[in-house]
Chain A
Amino acid sequence: MQKNISTILKSVQKPGRYTGGEFGQIIKDKSKVDLRIAFCFPDTYEIGMSNLGIKILYGALNEMEGVWCERVFAPWDDMEEQMRANGVPLYALESKDNVKDFDIMAISLQYELCYTTAVNMIDLAGIPIFAKDRGEEYPILLGGGPCAYNAEPVADFFDIFSIGEGEEALCELSQLYIDMKKNGTYSKQAFLREASHLKGFYVPSLYCVEYNENGTIKRFEPKYEDVPKKVEKRVVEDLNTSYFPVKPVMPYIETVHDRIMLETFRGCIRGCRFCQAGMVFRPVREKSAEVLNAQAQEIYKNTGYTEISLTSLSISDYSCLNEATDLLLDWTNKNKINLSLPSLRADSFTKELMRKVSGVRSSGLTFAPEAGTQRLRDAINKNLYEDDLLNAVRLAFEGGKSQVKLYFMNGLPTETYEDIEGISVLAKHVVDEFYKMPVRPKKPVQVTISVSCFVPKPHTPFQWEPQDTLESLVDKQRFLGEKITDRKVRYTWHEAKVSRLEAVFSKGDRRLSKAIAHAVGKGMRFDAWDEHFDYDKWMTVFEECGIDPSFYANRRIGYDEILPWDVIDIGVNKSFMISENKKAYESKTTPNCKEKCSGCGANRLGKELTWCPKKK
């Protein structure tokens, strides 16, 4: 096996993706562990190794003495071809052992377009892809990650899903596995049934789904009384004491985020109505500046990275930001470490922050107004004014930056062509702001506007909304292109076809697994990659499987319909979602969690360290 791998590595691109052996990888004696987990990321090494969630779970699971968790990434097509031709099944990087021989094959589902790659990895491991076809001899297939909040399109491939934050939940699941093996009560079925009683685990085979003639869901219920009707997501209550990896694996080859990633807080106070992360990660929980600083120093000592990135959904909302950056800058500047603050909000961007981010190495700045007019920004609850943005870019220009990037979305609910034109007007105003300054940076101003297409997401106030048709999205992109005449403005946009496929899968139900299996059979994978994405082929797949993609992407769903993801309880009440949805049509905003609690319901999940009012 080993010999085969090293022979084929000589004939593939970037063999460093497949060798393992990095500094910081965890090697255990396999004869001395009770549970072996193959932690799979259904995308390339470079993407997977950049994922903070994987680092956390890899570290947390390996902290358990009886558990050895190893990493597996999806082989690129040249490697897969060699593996299949030479009879090399999917293997884990640390031991090079076949994934098929592990106890648990865990797959992180980060975005909908990785579904084919995920299922292909199961196949490449020599494991039957459908859960119903797998006997005791195969590993337990565990899914997790953001897509597990609506895992229905891949429900038939998995045995169990971890819902919400996994670092504590997966350790509990591992312990249950070890205990049941040791006391002789283990069988796959018994284990899954028992696991369904753990908080935060969803076993899809324990629920039955019936459909109405019009394709909507008629009944979605547990098959047994002891199986919970709704699966409540897991949250980590205290980020100061929870596990955080301070000795990450150091990749040899360059990865996407090749730096120290420091998690500052989870959740978001904002409540933008299109944003799934803003809803599913509630309530807001912060890490203290001292803990953050101590973790940063520890990771620096263990890695030698020269860049630190403070991660969160919206870094300027971190209430300890000033304190934390002061603590960090005190030693990072001395050690020539660059501090970067992604996800800045324009309305809280200050001169002081500007000074702090222009430390050792300089880069551009990015803001996300999302919509071109105040009316539409109010409808999506962005709570951002044009003056805030202009103020922020002026600070950036004064600080010597001349490149600004702005993110927008097309196809948002209630959007009109006037709103789209507003994007070009706003971009123009940003350019004007540059020329209003008496003293300007030497480099010419460039404003890049990057426009994506709105994808309605489960567990958001816009979950009932239809996506714009493909024709409409394409026409809006064309229209905006015509409106942008200023040569200082660079316009980039996302492929609408990709967004449409995302919409189908993000709001999909169990019937889509047929299409995914069919697509994998046709050799489709890496759908998120331009060189692999094939929209027409997908449409053929849907047609051959008797699936109408517009039923999922372009249909307005009634408030009273049973949604495929209703089985998952993210802590936010449906009544709050409905009220938020209605407010969008009145362009009414909702205050952020710091200003006023709007009673979404998520406060019952957190403890004192949240921004939510204390439980009564």
Chain B
Amino acid sequence: MVPEKEIMPVRIKFTKLGDLMYISHLDLARTMQRIIVRSGVDIWYSEGFNPQPRIVFALPLPVGVESTCELMDFKINSYMSFEEIKERVQRNFPREMEVLEVYSPEVKFKSIAYADYTIVLHSPKIQADTADNVNSLFSKECIITKKSKSGEREVDICTFIKSLNASAQNGTVVINTVVNAGNESNLNPELIVQAIAKYLKIMDSNSIDEYCTIMRNKMLDEELNEFK
């Protein structure tokens, strides 16, 4: 066994773009284990009956959402430079996945409080006033039905939205928004699109995925500084 002090924590920031948005969090987790193992990085395994390469992700990305700011942590049993880890992992990434940065984690994932998303709507039913309507829709209260494992409940999603600004751009509506993220309180940005579908009726609520793209840009801490 390697003494605890020699075990070295590693954080990797990476992208998940294009067709990779269709890969679920669970599939990504399994894929990532194999990527790290085949990279030859001496990753620390969990102990017990079923030892697994242990990787922790900052914030699961919903299916259908792309990202330029994914974070994951793992530990390695023996020293390797961050540059070498970056080079090895990048070589073993599939297309559309890029290592942006490898560094030593200083802050724990639990201090993530918000996430910054860009949502682009491109329904043919978008009107000149759609962007304004979106802004006013989220200005005070917006009740939608949230489905979860424990059943359905009505929630006001505005209580999860820190800021939101919609603007019209070349026939599309671009929404920049910062919403609650993390273990305590979290909003799936798709619910914003669902609310738009429900109240503004610019798209069929069963096929909202076809009329929007969602990108996660940043994770933020309590003070709205970028989480690293």
- Chain A positions near chain B (C-beta within 8 angstroms): 6-7, 9-11, 15-16, 19-23, 250, 252-254, 300-306, 336, 360-362
Contacts and interface: CB of A to CB of B under 8 A. Distances in A.
Interface in B90-111: 92-96
Interface of B: 18-20, 22-24, 27-28, 30-31, 33-40, 45, 49-53, 63-64, 92-96, 207, 209-210
Contacts of B22: 9, 15-16, 19
A303 B31 contact: no
A16 B18 CA distance: 12
Nearest to B23: A252
Nearest to A303: B38
Given A21-B94, A302-B38, A253 B23 contact: yes
A21 B96 contact: yes
Contacts of A16: 22-24, 27
Contacts, number: 73
Contact of A252 (B27, B40, B53): B27
Contacts of A300: 38
Contacts of A6: 19
B34 A305 contact: yes
Nearest to B209: A10
A336 B53 CA distance: 9
A11 B63 CA distance: 11
Contacts of A11: 207, 209-210
Contacts of B38: 300-304
Contact of A362 (B49, B53, B96): B49
Given A6-B19, A336-B51, A360-B51, A304 B33 contact: yes
Contacts of B207: 10-11
A361 B38 CA distance: 20
B32 to A, nearest CB: 10
A7 B28 CA distance: 22
B31 A252 contact: yes
Given A7-B210, A302-B38, A304-B37, A19 B31 contact: no
Contact of A23 (B18, B51, B64, B93): B93
A326 to B, nearest CB: 22
B92 A254 contact: no
A10 B23 contact: no
B50 to A, nearest CB: 5
B28 to A, nearest CB: 8
Contacts of B34: 250, 303-306
Contacts of A336: 45, 51
Contacts of B49: 361-362
Contact of A304 (B19, B20, B36): B36
